[in-house]
Amino acid sequence: MSQIGFPLRFDSRGRTAQADDDQHLRDLIQHVLLTMPGERVMRPTFGSGVLQLVFAGNSQELAATTQFVVQGTLQQWLGDLITVESVEVEAQEATLLIQVRYVNRRTQARGTVQFTAPGGAP
């Protein structure tokens, strides 16, 4: 099944880019994680606030908090599309490495998405 690619862009033929089901889910996860709450007018609670971490001191406590925030946010906004198996967050120097393992509810296929979020000075 083909979906419209996110972010909206054009392919090499000048048409709206398409994404397969797995890529579409990865795009949706990225969209939820990188959107700040309050950024969307009609859904002010949408998003995770992960980008605000640039202003927090990087630590193991921040990594644990981020893990709970990411898991809760994904369950809230994408719970009908995916089952979150695990969220692993690791603090490394000035960044947080975020890895999300999930199961596509429609196909039961497993997937993994990795992000690097900027963190504050340790």
Range of the domain at 55: 2-38+45-118
Rounded Cα gap, residues 27 and 55, in angstroms: 25
- What three-state secondary structure class fits 14? coil
Task: Give the CATH number of the domain where residue 63 resides.
Answer: 3.10.450.40
Q: For the residues 65-80, what does the mean pLDDT come to? A: 91
Q: For the residues 80-105, what does the mean pLDDT come to? A: 88
Q: How many residues does the chain have?
A: 122
Q: For the residues 67-94, what does the mean pLDDT come to? A: 89
Rounded Cα gap, residues 74 and 111, in angstroms: 14
> pTM for the full model?
0.80
- Count the domains in the chain: 1
Rounded Cα gap, residues 95 and 87, in angstroms: 16
Contact 50, 117 (CB under 8 A): yes
| Strands, E assignment, the chain | 2-4, 18-20, 82-92, 95-104, 110-118
